[in-house]
Amino acid sequence: MHIERHVRHLAAGLVLAAAAAGFAHAQEKASAYPGKSVRWVVPFPPGASNDIIARLIGQKLSEAWGQPFVVDNRPGAGGTVGAETVARAAPDGYTLIVSNPGPSINNVLMRKKPSYLITDFSPVVFIGYAPLIIVAHPGFPPRNARELVEYAKINPGRVNWGSSGTGSSLHIGLALFQSATGVSVVHVPYKGAAPALSDVVGGQINLMYTTSVTGEAQIKAGRVKVLAVADEKRQPVLPDVPTLAELGIKGAEAKVWFGMSAPAKTPRPIIDKLNREVNKALGTADVRQRLDALGLVVGGGTPEQFNAFIKNESERLAKLIKIGAVQVE
Amino acid sequence: MEELALLFPNLTLGFSTAVSPANLFYCFAGVFVGTLIGVLPGIGPLAAIAMLLPLTFNLPPVGALIMLAGIYYGAQYAGSTTAILVKLPRESASVVTCMDGYEMAKKGRAGPALAVAALGSFFAGTVGVVLIALFGPPIAELALKFGSAEYFSLVVMGLIASAVLAHGSLIKALGMILLGLLFGIVGTDVNSGMSRFAFGVTGLTDGISFVVIAMGLFGFAEIVSNLERGGAKRDLLFGRIKHLWPTLDDFRRSWKPAIRGTAIGAFFGTLPGAGPTIAAFSSYALEKKVAKDPSRFGSGAIEGVAGPESANNAAAQCAFIPTLTLGIAGSGTMALMLGALTIQGIAPGLQVMTQRPELFWGLIASMWIGNGMLVLLNLPLIGLWVKLLTVPYRMLFPAIMMFMAIGVYSVNNQSLDIYITLMFGVLGYVFVKLKCEPAPLILAFVLGPLMEENLRRALLISRGDPTVFMTRPISAGFLVATLALLLIMVVPAVRKKRQEALEDQPHDTTA
């Protein structure tokens, strides 16, 4: 009996010691991190916003730690290809991903058999977001989102609303708008926001969601008009355009956001270290200025905050899917 | 006319901006890097511009734009070099150049082919610059009139025209077009977002990449059939080099196709999407149609290089029109250029011309200077390229294979693409054996998804009413032109039969 107890104690002690050693090891690993080059996967082709963000912040991290942060473009299937790679990578902090709505939420929830799950990633830090704005052809009668709702109710199924593709953030934004207002419009998907915007300018379709940066040139030239900002507050570049909430449309806020995530089970100390350094980079004047030029509201904050944000966004989409506002493949 | 009066001071301002030593340097650096990435596999112009974008943050806006634009048209320009020398089209517009350019190279006429491609491109680039300066804004307005219905009809016309590309059986050409359309279906359904014919392979959900099909059917298949013919043993696959430079006869044959190609390219270039490709194919089809002896096409007709190369380059230049004047990007590369403008704190659009005239006109003037630099850079290189062909084939072909594999891999960074290229290589060899032309297949592969996307979108917007294609004037115009094309193709065949029966007058092919 005694021996058994001894053994039990010994085992418990060993487990504790191992855990402590493991903890110390993790700590030690974190202080040594990064000991080699870090691969930061961008699941989109070079030149996309994700790519520019990764190169901008990656450069800061490289300078801070003296280890290169290599941007690895893995485009394909709306970001799924790159996200798959990272979901299966070793959780050692040497493979990271630029997370954003498509690969991190939409592509997972909108597939019957997704090849990875939202929980396959550990959120590291929220980098920033671009609020969506509704732009319309100048000849389209409604002058703001409230009039748009009235117009769409009188003319059911006559309004053509473009998006950058089925399942894209712009499409989800439209679905949120429809479920919040109960209007029904025809969704016209394009392969990207640019051709859709070109058709709004040309009057081939009536309106679409876009970001202020994508629409900037057309807004300034008066080739499109802005009906609303789908954010909690007005946009500094569009001070006269009311928010959806101001126009009486609640719960339809929509944004394109960017962050950094690691594979699930990446040691917490490494995540914290990355989080601190990215927050520091987001505070520098030149990064702020570049992100501002991309139309981004700069983020930051703790991994927990980012995790809660992703959870909230995915619950909103799950609800849309449940009520049939967007279809699952 | 107001534009004409303003053109002179505008261009003066542009040139005085562009010839500053710093800007000349940026221009040269741009076209030099562009030429390098156009010839070497690995990174395409899109990736190169993306990687160099952060570098330009600290440059003055004019210098940054001049350099990025130089990379873009430098790469476009150099793309024809590999197409002519080793039948490796790096982008869809170069597929056309392969057809006669490579045949010329095989006959020892790589030099004239490269020179005509360079000079035709320079001519087209010059005209393109003048067009942008004169008619930029109105042309861009016209491009806005193009909706899905217009694109659909345009693509239908392009597909019918592609049947002309084949020299040989029309039935086989139609078969290849159908196959190309089928390969184009692989990928994601635009309207529902569902993946089709991807067989659960994530790498296929974006469809088969163009580079994969082109390298397989052209580059790989060519190597296999060369080896079969004993190319490795014989060592000299390419004919003895007679001229390094084009002869007077070459120039005589080339200048008209270059002018026609430029006109076609300028028109299609302003349309977003497949501008340069449709332009190059249309130019080839036209040249073959107006030629006295169409049978020369496909076996090294210099017109088949001069026309499409001019069209391709004119289109590449005119792609700047909607980007600069409207702030609308027709391609990924143009979207990047817009991004560069935005990061520099400049909102693209017509106001750039009034608020920052030195930027707008400086860029345009630098494009002309850059085109000149490209000629100066490329003409001396021709001797070097032609020398390359005298390397024994047993050493040349493994190098081509390696370059191909790197080029294919680097498009999406996935090795799956290399295996698919191999499959298309085998298929391409079968086509060689069956005497089927791969060019119509590739054009259909490029245009098919465009056709489907626009057909479905046009019908979605019209709520299923197919008359939109006839009631919209531009669309109706294209459909009428398509009908005319069909008649042109069918009538000579009918007349030929009748003439054979009557045997009363010599065969007339000037139709």
- Residue A191, chain B, CB below 8 Å: the answer is yes
Q: Is residue B203 part of a domain?
A: yes
Answer whether B192 sits within 8 Å of A327, measured CB to CB.
yes
What was the pLDDT predicted at B387? Answer: 77
CB-CB neighbors (< 8 A) of B210 in chain A: none
Nearest CB among A81, A188, A201 relative to B328 is that of A201
Question: What percentage of chain B carries pLDDT values higher than 90?
Answer: 6
CB-based contact, A225 to chain B, within 8 Å: no
Best probe of the A interface among B43, B53, B333, by most A CBs < 10 A, is B53
Is residue B109 exposed (0-12), middle (13-18) or buried (19+ Cβ within 10 Å)? buried
User: Containing domain of residue B473, as a range?
Assistant: 11-502
Q: Which residue has the higher pLDDT, A152 or B129?
A: A152
pLDDT at B43: 63
- In chain A, the percentage of residues whose pLDDT exceeds 90 is 48
pLDDT tens-digit profile of B216-233?
Answer: 888 888 888 888 876 555
pLDDT band at A246 (very low <50, low <70, confident <90, very high): very high
Partners of A207 in beta bridges: A136, A161
Q: Which residue has the higher pLDDT, B392 or B69?
A: B69
At residue A97, φ and ψ (nearest 5 deg) are: -140, 145
Q: Kindly state the average pLDDT of the residues B458-467.
A: 91
pLDDT tens-digit series, residues B25-36: 999 998 888 888
d(CA B161, CA B408): 29
- The amino acid occupying position B459 is L
| pLDDT for position A5 | 55
Q: What is the ipTM of this complex?
A: 0.77
**Contacting residues of B for A76, CB less than 8 Å apart:** 202-203, 205-206, 412, 414
DSSP secondary structure letters along B238-250: SPP---SS--HHH
Separation in Å, CA of A312 to nearest CA in chain B? 24
Of the listed ranges A84-88, B6-10, B225-229, the least confidently predicted one is B6-10
Above 90 in pLDDT, residue A102? no
d(CA A329, CA B346): 41
| A278 CA: distance to closest CA in chain B (Å) | 18
pLDDT, average across residues A225-233: 93
| Comparison of pLDDT for B493 and B296, the residue scoring more | B296
Q: What is the mean pLDDT of residues B34-46?
A: 72
- B387 backbone dihedrals φ, ψ, rounded to 5°: -55, -40
CB pairs under 8 A between A and B: 136
Architecture of domain A35-129+256-322: 3-Layer(aba) Sandwich (3.40)
Q: What pLDDT shows up at residue B1?
A: 46
Looking at mean pLDDT, say which of A82-86, A192-196, B243-247 comes out highest.
A82-86
Q: Is residue B5 part of a domain?
A: no
Q: What pLDDT is recorded for position B299?
A: 81
Q: What's the whole-number mean pLDDT along residues B375-382?
A: 83
pLDDT at B445 over 70: yes
CA dihedral B404, B406, B409, B410 (to 10 degrees): -120
Contacts of A80 in chain B (CB under 8 A): 202, 205
Which of B135-139, B238-242, B311-315 shows the lowest mean pLDDT across its residues?
B238-242
Is B72 domain-assigned?
yes
Q: Where, residue-wise, is CATH 3.40.190.150 in chain A? A: 35-129+256-322
Is the predicted pLDDT of residue A266 greater than 80, yes or no? yes
Neighbours of B45 (CB within 10 A): 27
pLDDT beyond 60 at B59: yes
Tell me the pLDDT of chain A averaged across its residues: 86
Could you tell me if residue B382 is inside a domain?
yes
Q: Evaluate whether residue B1 is within a structural domain.
A: no
pLDDT at B508: 44
pLDDT digits (tens, 9 = 90+) for A318-327: 988 888 888 7
Cβ of A186 within 8 Å of Cβ of B460? The answer is yes
Average pLDDT, chain B: 80
CB proximity A59 to B under 8 Å: yes
Residue A68 touches partner B, C-beta closer than 8 Å: no
User: What pLDDT score does B241 carry?
Assistant: 66
Give the mean model confidence (pLDDT) for residues B201-208. 79
* Other Cβ atoms closer than 10 A to B111: 22
CA distances from A276 to B4, B115, B459 (A): 58, 57, 52
- Taken in order A259, A265, A268, A269, the sign of the CA dihedral is negative
Average pLDDT over residues A46-54: 78
Q: In the prediction, which pLDDT does B246 show?
A: 82
Minimal Cα distance from A294: which residue of B? B343
| Strand ranges in chain A using DSSP code E only, listed in sequence order | 38-42, 69-73, 95-99, 121-136, 160-163, 186-189, 207-211, 225-229, 255-263, 297-298
In the structure encoding, which two tokens stand for residue B95, read together? 């597929």
Surface of A (107-126) touching B: CB under 8 A: 110, 115
Q: What pLDDT is recorded for position B208?
A: 87
B201 pLDDT band, cuts 50/70/90, is: confident
Residue B39 has pLDDT above 80, yes or no: no
Read off the pLDDT of each residue in B165-177 and give the average, rounded to a whole number. Answer: 76
Query: Residue B166: what pLDDT?
Result: 61
Running DSSP on this structure, what letter comes out for residue B135? H
Q: Indicate the CATH number for domain A131-229.
A: 3.40.190.10
Of B54, B146, B190, the CB nearest to A189: B190
Q: Quote the CA–CA distance of A22 and A32 in Å, as a whole number.
A: 15
A118-138 pLDDT tens trace: 999 999 999 999 999 999 999
Predicted local confidence at residue B231, as pLDDT: 55
Mutate to test the interface with B, among A62, A80, A188, A212 (most CBs of B within 10 A): A188
3-state secondary structure of A121: strand
pLDDT for A273 equals: 93
High-pLDDT (> 70) share of chain B, %? 82
In a domain, B288, yes or no: yes
Per-residue pLDDT, B509 = 43
Q: How confident is the model at residue A1 (pLDDT cuts 50, 70, 90)?
A: very low
Which residues of chain A have a CB within 8 Å of the CB of B349?
217-218, 220-221
Which residues make up the CATH 3.40.190.10 domain(s) of chain A? Answer: 131-229
pLDDT at A174 over 70: yes
Quick check: A88 pLDDT over 80? yes
Contacts of A155 in chain B (CB under 8 A): none
List the single range of A194-203, B48-57, B280-289 with lowest mean pLDDT: B48-57
In a domain, B350, yes or no: yes
A293 chain-B contacts, CB cut-off 8 A:
342-343, 345
Closest Cα in chain A to B415: A74
Cβ–Cβ under 8 Å, residues B320 and B135: no
Alpha helix segments (H runs only) across A155-234: 169-181, 193-201, 212-220
Domain count, chain B: 1
Task: Give the residue on A whose Cα is nearest the Cα of B46.
Answer: A46
